[in-house]
Structure 1
Amino acid sequence: MTTADEGRDGDRRPAPDTALRVVELSGGVAVKICGRLLAGLGHDVVLCEPPGGDALRTREPLDEHGVGLAFSSLDADKRGVVVDLDTADGRSVLGELLDRADLLLTDLGPTRARALGLTAPEIRAAWPDLVAVSMTAAGLDDPRSDHPGDSLLAECQGGLASMIGEPDRSPLSLGGEQTAHAAAFAGLFGAMLALRRRTRGARGDVVDIALCDVAAYIDWKSDIETAFAGTAPTRTGATAGQWRIVRAADGWVGVIFAPEQWDVLVRLVSEPAPAPAPRSDPEQCWKLIERWAARLPKRTVYERAQALGLAVGFSADLGDLLGDRQYEARGFFRGPRRNGRTIAPVGPPAHGAGLPWRSGPPPTLGGDSVVARSWSPIGREESTPSREGAPLAGVTVLDLGTITAGAATGRLLADYGATVIKVESASHPDPFRQWPVAGRPPARDGLSPMFESNNAGKQGVVLDLKTEAGRETLHRLAAQADVVIENFTVGVTRRLGADFETLRAVNPRLLYLSLSSQGQDGPEAGRRSYGSTLDLLSGLASVTGYRDGGPMWSSGEVNYPDQAASLFGAALVAYCLDRGVRGVHLDVSQRELISWTLADRIAEHRATGVVPAPTGNRRPGATPHDVYPCSGKGQWVAIACRRQDERDALARLVAPAELAGKPEAWWWEHEELVDELIGAWTRARSRTECVDALTEVGVAVAPVLTAAERKHEPRFRERRVYLGEGESRRKGFPFTMRGYAPPEPTPAPALGQDQEAVLAVLPVEHVTGCRSRGS
């Protein structure tokens, strides 16, 4: 995206007749993030606040104007109107806004939605052309959604938390509000799909996003391993397993390498120390690696390892990010300044000529009280309804993506109707084709189920892009395509004649998405990474972990940055397709994208000078907010209280003598004592008993599920978060749409499976040198 820093009236806003009119009803974080993305892209987002203002306005830490830094980050560039939904006048104002809106973003729970006449059927009946995106804890119709969406509860219910942390300690939530951000990316994707269907003749729709489904979707690899190995994987933490986080002289580094790079790792640590012991004694090897790393600064370890092609990363804290040369080169930190201080702490989550990004202030309370009158009535052109209901029908995508980030983006686009052609090299196909699961390689002629999940629904061709004939064929395919996706190391596409400038020359309207480690330019653009590398470099690991420990990553078993990048990449492509953006290179740095999810923590650091550290499962705005052990082995339950009435109910249940009648401030001041009392109560009960009792009294609660337990939860099967049973298990969909259900995807293609069919549309003289599957 472009680096616009204009204020609210800057000239990069889309023209009034093309800007979306968005109404936001947000009590939780996910909706705010989705609204922030749309506002940053220049659309008119109206935040409806209750009398007295949004709760984040006054949540500490505050800026010099008394506005919460989280509010400034999440609600930048929006307009605001005070709407009292408990009054007839307030509901009338909301109705007037919705009469003229394109999009509603909401996290109303089912009870509140019924009271306001805003259930999915009522929305579709009253505003048939409106697209509504709901982001709740467990879905539009689930009573658990009467509690605000919470990333910890979602990650526990969805099974993701069971994969984060040390195996002998409590499960962890990822730092910040990661599932809320991933849900927001899914929300943007769903919104654009529904809007695209509307422009092609359909009516409006309701997109139903459950945060716990998104968490389960992110943890899809655990589903696959459970189906094939019969047992669920467990968290490996940072101190065991093939990859580990070790101390450096001034911090931490993640030692990350492919199995075939062992000798390279030996060479790295053997100067000047003696070479590590052989692989037969891995623990002795790790002791030597730890001694070597402990003598060096973390950036030195990183630089030396990267120079040898190792995907090692150092744990960047949020202070490191502010002075990072890669971020400086790409202008990641920018925004309008107030009293000499940047108030919008980070720039866009992607770069690309032709897309705006606005970094302005949040709305003043009630500052746009007549906002409804500034929107003209919606005029709908008569159109012939499309015979094809798939949102992306008619879109052709060339998918050069591999492993997860690129390939999973292509899978999402294929799920919703795009024709996705996976382009591979016969000599160097996607490594996921033969990726082992639970230590077992796939059958001799079989596909890894990991590959199946990321590539179902696609067509497959093979091209040798090192030859002139292969490049010519790619160019002819690109001339007929709408989108290209790639996640190669920077520089590879240029060498293969598959870079944006080359392909734009044959198709000026091509939409080109790059999902690289650190972006297409800057001094570290060519660095190698895995998801775990990006956990560290983005700053996420520095705020994930136990309160008494060091940084924690999502681990190679999850690779959260890859999953988040695929959701965001698909959303960005769908946005451009719906908005008519063409001929653009969408440059998504996976590292920057994950740092962007920490915008409020970065703002806090810039304002206070305090470098955020891991806080376990505690978060601002809720207390108690943690996981607690139950009586069964390895059984945990999560609790998140955001309101005083929940704390009062919890007190009466678990320890009335010690907790009843205590004011909110007391709960914050005595979190250790509260945790001890809750833990004593949960240890005496099974997980089911804890969940049932807490639910009965109105406390927000979730069990910490494993992938093995998740498969027995009907909701994930019914909502198609995963597909198939047993060894046919594969990744499903991150949300549901009331007006469209994607069909079951076809199996992932064998190498070059669709060669003849795909290339048959090209003139014969242009396919010389391309090998068919049987040749």
Structure 2
Amino acid sequence: MFEDFDLLQIFDRGTSPEARRAVRFAAGISCALGAKSFVSGTEQAPDLAGLSDIVDERVEVSPAAWAGDTSAERHRIILRATVPGQDKLISPDISSVTVELEPWQTEDTLFAASGLARLLGDFEREPLVPAANYAAHTIGYAIFTALTAVAGARLRFGRTEQAWLQGEASLTWINWKAAIAATLGEDLARQGADAEWPVVPCKDGYLAFVYNERDWDRVVEMINDPELEDDRFRSFKGRAEHRRAYMAPIKKWCAGRTKADLAKTLVKREIPGAPVLTISDLLNDPLLVHRAAIVTTPSGYTAPALPHRIEKEARGGAPKVDVDGPLPLSGMTVLDLGIITAGAGVSALLADMGANVIKIESDTYPDPFRAWAGATDGDSPLFKSNNRNKKGIALDLKTEEGLNTFLKLAMTADIVVENFRRGVLDRLGLTFDRLVEANPTILLASISGQGLSGPNSQHTTFGSTLEATSGFASLTCYDDGIPVISGRNLNYPDQTVCLYGAAIIAAQAIDCRRLGIARHLDISQRDCAIYQIGDMFASTATGTSARDAAAWSGDRAMLRCADGEYVAVSNDESARLNAFAHADGLTEWASGMAAADCARTLLNVGIGAAVARSGKELPSAPAAAAAGSFSHSPDGALVKGFPFQLIQSPMRINRNAPALGEHTESVIHSHVENSHAD
């Protein structure tokens, strides 16, 4: 799709480095997919060296003149980074994506303001921020998703559309679980040494000891220590009350083994833990080598490849004609087999962009998210938040009747989304080839932890497993160097794949419709996380420490205030920061006032600062509230909102999350019986 597009990047005066990185990150993805890159010479262009390995053509005419030039018969979109107070809309006649960010915002203040820092580290110590550009590049993923929506409206309907996003709000959207948990009275926060899934030392590094409730017997058998057979440890509650006691023999066992030995054992035992890998480890990782996930760019840099693969393609279908609709994906149907966070979250964003999403479960195997925290009276708030704007039907795909009904639905669908364990679809009889027989322009999108094939790709993983194996954990630590994972409270790769996954699925599905082809799309959550640290690979390959290679600027601090809360501080001018601290020092000064007062005072003197927010504070935070990071479903429940917003045809929450099988009869009547009658 993007091979038909030109992208002009504009950087308004005063734009923060994080906003520039975010735009360049999105442009880099688009160019890797075939777009051509331009940068405006009439604006204040930043130093782009090192931000992305793409080649720009400089434009000396005005952006409006560039956008209006149709001589090349290509579609044109403007990507713009700006500061608050500027118009969101360049022109109603120009397709554009605008990202807004305060000039003083940095990785530290963005992680603090979005509440993400509060989830990382030890509660007895200050919140942590990874030593990488995760905030900027997560915002970049959101820009790419917005760009895909704008491009989709242009390509499908010939219509100009504009998207706007507030960078801090887009990052806050990632932290939706903390906000929803707060409605249940839960305060999700960093757990440190008492975390359910701790990081423990091993012979040559660290291991993320991740396991599920059903894995405990295998853990006991693997460690083979009588202490773990204590009745106190038999239940989840018992282990939570005696965390340090049962972890003692586990730590002792891990300490005598190498990362390679531990990885083999965990895979063999089907326990979802994993060694913490550094960027140097990733360069020679067997699975990444198999997937060709690390490449040499045209400029000679070592960098990650895009996080998706085309597993299969079938040609011979008839192109579909698009009829104009209000949203970029209007008129497209998604069969949603996704569960928990990643699969269901991707489909939710497709629904927001206009697709008709039909969630498919069975009475015997509903989405497990329905039964999570808060599900004492109906479905859990987490399920409701991740499945609003969808219809829901109940089909037992293990029966011939259920399978045949699904294939009939597939005949008129555009996309099938699934994130089952590898092999489940094949055992059900829903292979790509069989779907193509039903619909020669179908897109099968498989979202998995580590991709569809390769050494140990079938190993069960959770989001925190992928934090360990993608470099995230190794880049998140205190001065002691002990890596940190987020645990169930965040699972960062589960959230970022929702952005990239929705965008690449939408783009590929549009291609399938207009070209008359079918594709099987392989999206790796681990690869999505690795792609976010691509700017650090070149430095690491030449011997520079990954932490030293992080593109941070200025002095940085996390200040503890009188109310026990923290304020993240970032400023390019160390002299101003030191002068402000006076004789007592900045830390002593901050300890005498509340966090909100501390941040306000620092901002008033030109020093960037943000309170490390809790989950309950996120929906009412100014940036998130203005941008719609959270919304309410028709029944009044607080739910996940949008990472960006469309200006001409705004996205809205129009439908509650479906009850199990709520729309079975109406969907089968409209999509199967009527289609068969036609």
TM-score (norm. length: structure 2) = 0.89
752 and 52 in structure 1: CA distance in 2 versus 1, 3 angstrom threshold: closer
Q: Is the 8 A contact 1:462 1:751 kept in 2?
A: yes
Separation in 1, partners of 2:182, 2:536: 35
**Residue 150 of structure 1, CA deviation:** 2.7
CA offset digits 1:79-112 (Å, max 9, x no partner)? 242x7xxxxxx5x45444333361111212146x
Which residue in the other structure is 1:277 paired with? 230
**Residue 712 of structure 1, CA deviation:** 3.8
**Residue 36 of structure 1, CA deviation:** 0.3
- Indicate which of 216, 219, 244 corresponds to 2:175: 219
CA offset digits 1:124-182 (Å, max 9, x no partner)? 1xxx3322212232xxxxxxx244x5332222112121111111111112341222222
333 and 715 in structure 1: CA distance in 2 versus 1, 3 angstrom threshold: closer
Separation in 2, partners of 1:307, 1:641: 49
Q: Is the 8 A contact 1:162 1:171 kept in 2?
A: yes
Which residue in the other structure is 1:506 paired with? 438
1:641 aligns with 2:571: yes
Which residue in the other structure is 1:661 paired with? none
Separation in 2, partners of 1:50, 1:324: 44
User: Aligned with 2:309: secondary structure?
Assistant: coil
- Indicate which of 62, 83, 98 corresponds to 2:67: 98
Q: Is the 8 A contact 2:78 2:96 kept in 1?
A: yes
User: Aligned with 2:250: secondary structure?
Assistant: helix
Q: Is the 8 A contact 2:447 2:522 kept in 1?
A: yes
738 and 52 in structure 1: CA distance in 2 versus 1, 3 angstrom threshold: closer
**Residue 500 of structure 1, CA deviation:** 2.4
- Indicate which of 40, 54, 64 corresponds to 1:77: 54
Which residue in the other structure is 1:120 paired with? 88
1:172 aligns with 2:81: no
Please show how residues 460-539 of structure 1 align to structure 2 within 5 Å: 460-539=392-471
Give the letter aligned to residue 208 of structure 2: G
**Residue 681 of structure 1, CA deviation:** 2.9
Separation in 1, partners of 2:258, 2:210: 17
Separation in 1, partners of 2:137, 2:308: 15
Separation in 2, partners of 1:480, 1:93: 44
Q: Is the 8 A contact 1:270 1:276 kept in 2?
A: no
Separation in 2, partners of 1:717, 1:561: 24
Separation in 2, partners of 1:183, 1:529: 25
Q: Is the 8 A contact 2:408 2:672 kept in 1?
A: no
**Residue 32 of structure 1, CA deviation:** 0.8
Q: Is the 8 A contact 1:267 1:275 kept in 2?
A: no
- Indicate which of 260, 265, 283 corresponds to 2:214: 260
- Indicate which of 409, 413, 430 corresponds to 2:350: 413
Which residue in the other structure is 2:304 paired with? 346
User: Aligned with 1:627: secondary structure?
Assistant: strand
Q: Is the 8 A contact 1:491 1:526 kept in 2?
A: no
Q: Is the 8 A contact 2:223 2:253 kept in 1?
A: yes
Q: Is the 8 A contact 2:558 2:566 kept in 1?
A: yes
Q: Which structure dedicates a bigger proportion of its chain to strand?
A: 2
Separation in 2, partners of 1:741, 1:202: 18
Which residue in the other structure is 2:281 paired with? 320
1:29 aligns with 2:21: yes
**Residue 765 of structure 1, CA deviation:** 13
User: Aligned with 1:571: secondary structure?
Assistant: helix
Uncovered stretches (5+) of structure 2, i.e. residues with no partner: 12-16, 70-74, 314-320
621 and 99 in structure 1: CA distance in 2 versus 1, 3 angstrom threshold: farther
Give the letter aligned to residue 241 of structure 1: A
177 and 763 in structure 1: CA distance in 2 versus 1, 3 angstrom threshold: closer
User: Aligned with 1:135: secondary structure?
Assistant: strand
Which residue in the other structure is 2:148 paired with? 192
Which residue in the other structure is 2:318 paired with? none
Which residue in the other structure is 1:47 paired with? 39
196 and 766 in structure 1: CA distance in 2 versus 1, 3 angstrom threshold: closer
Q: Is the 8 A contact 2:323 2:331 kept in 1?
A: no
1:625 aligns with 2:534: no
Separation in 2, partners of 1:501, 1:305: 33
296 and 49 in structure 1: CA distance in 2 versus 1, 3 angstrom threshold: farther
Q: Is the 8 A contact 2:227 2:246 kept in 1?
A: no
Aligned length: 645
Which residue in the other structure is 2:379 paired with? 447
- Indicate which of 600, 609, 612 corresponds to 2:546: 612
Separation in 1, partners of 2:294, 2:82: 33
CA offset digits 1:730-761 (Å, max 9, x no partner)? 21111222222222231111111111111124
Q: Is the 8 A contact 1:102 1:129 kept in 2?
A: no
User: Aligned with 2:628: secondary structure?
Assistant: coil
User: Aligned with 2:183: secondary structure?
Assistant: helix
Q: Is the 8 A contact 1:175 1:541 kept in 2?
A: no
User: Aligned with 2:66: secondary structure?
Assistant: helix
Please show how residues 10-25 of structure 1 align to structure 2 within 5 Å: 19-25=4-10
Which residue in the other structure is 1:544 paired with? 476
Which residue in the other structure is 1:691 paired with? 599
Which residue in the other structure is 2:360 paired with? 423
User: Aligned with 1:566: secondary structure?
Assistant: helix
User: Aligned with 1:422: secondary structure?
Assistant: strand
Which residue in the other structure is 2:317 paired with? none
Q: Is the 8 A contact 2:94 2:161 kept in 1?
A: yes
User: Aligned with 1:55: secondary structure?
Assistant: coil
Which residue in the other structure is 1:331 paired with? 292
**Residue 50 of structure 1, CA deviation:** 8.5
Separation in 1, partners of 2:611, 2:390: 36
User: Aligned with 1:746: secondary structure?
Assistant: coil
Give the letter aligned to residue 278 of structure 2: D
Separation in 2, partners of 1:761, 1:727: 28
User: Aligned with 1:401: secondary structure?
Assistant: coil
Which residue in the other structure is 1:367 paired with? none
Give the letter aligned to residue 228 of structure 1: L
Give the letter aligned to residue 343 of structure 1: Y
CA offset digits 1:404-447 (Å, max 9, x no partner)? 0000011111122211111112212111010124xxx422xx10
Give the letter aligned to residue 230 of structure 2: A
Give the letter aligned to residue 68 of structure 2: D
Give the letter aligned to residue 204 of structure 2: D
1:601 aligns with 2:557: no
**Residue 41 of structure 1, CA deviation:** 0.6
Q: Is the 8 A contact 1:472 1:766 kept in 2?
A: no
Which residue in the other structure is 1:116 paired with? none
Q: Is the 8 A contact 1:538 1:592 kept in 2?
A: yes
Which residue in the other structure is 1:371 paired with? none
Moved more, 396-405 or 582-591: 582-591
User: Aligned with 1:442: secondary structure?
Assistant: helix
Separation in 2, partners of 1:680, 1:759: 66
Separation in 2, partners of 1:384, 1:464: 32
CA offset digits 1:527-565 (Å, max 9, x no partner)? 101100000011111111112231111221011100000
- Indicate which of 371, 394, 400 corresponds to 2:337: 400
- Indicate which of 237, 259, 269 corresponds to 1:298: 259
292 and 344 in structure 1: CA distance in 2 versus 1, 3 angstrom threshold: closer
Q: Is the 8 A contact 1:36 1:75 kept in 2?
A: yes
- Indicate which of 615, 624, 644 corresponds to 1:716: 624
1:650 aligns with 2:577: yes
Give the letter aligned to residue 283 of structure 1: R
Which residue in the other structure is 1:135 paired with? 99
CA offset digits 1:247-297 (Å, max 9, x no partner)? 1111111111222322121111117x7644331444321101111111111
Separation in 1, partners of 2:195, 2:166: 32
455 and 765 in structure 1: CA distance in 2 versus 1, 3 angstrom threshold: closer
Separation in 2, partners of 1:464, 1:214: 37
423 and 52 in structure 1: CA distance in 2 versus 1, 3 angstrom threshold: closer
TM-score (norm. length: structure 1) = 0.78
Uncovered stretches (5+) of structure 1, i.e. residues with no partner: 1-12, 58-70, 84-89, 114-118, 138-144, 356-382, 658-675, 768-775
Separation in 1, partners of 2:260, 2:197: 18
Give the letter aligned to residue 22 of structure 1: L
Q: Is the 8 A contact 1:232 1:707 kept in 2?
A: yes
720 and 93 in structure 1: CA distance in 2 versus 1, 3 angstrom threshold: closer
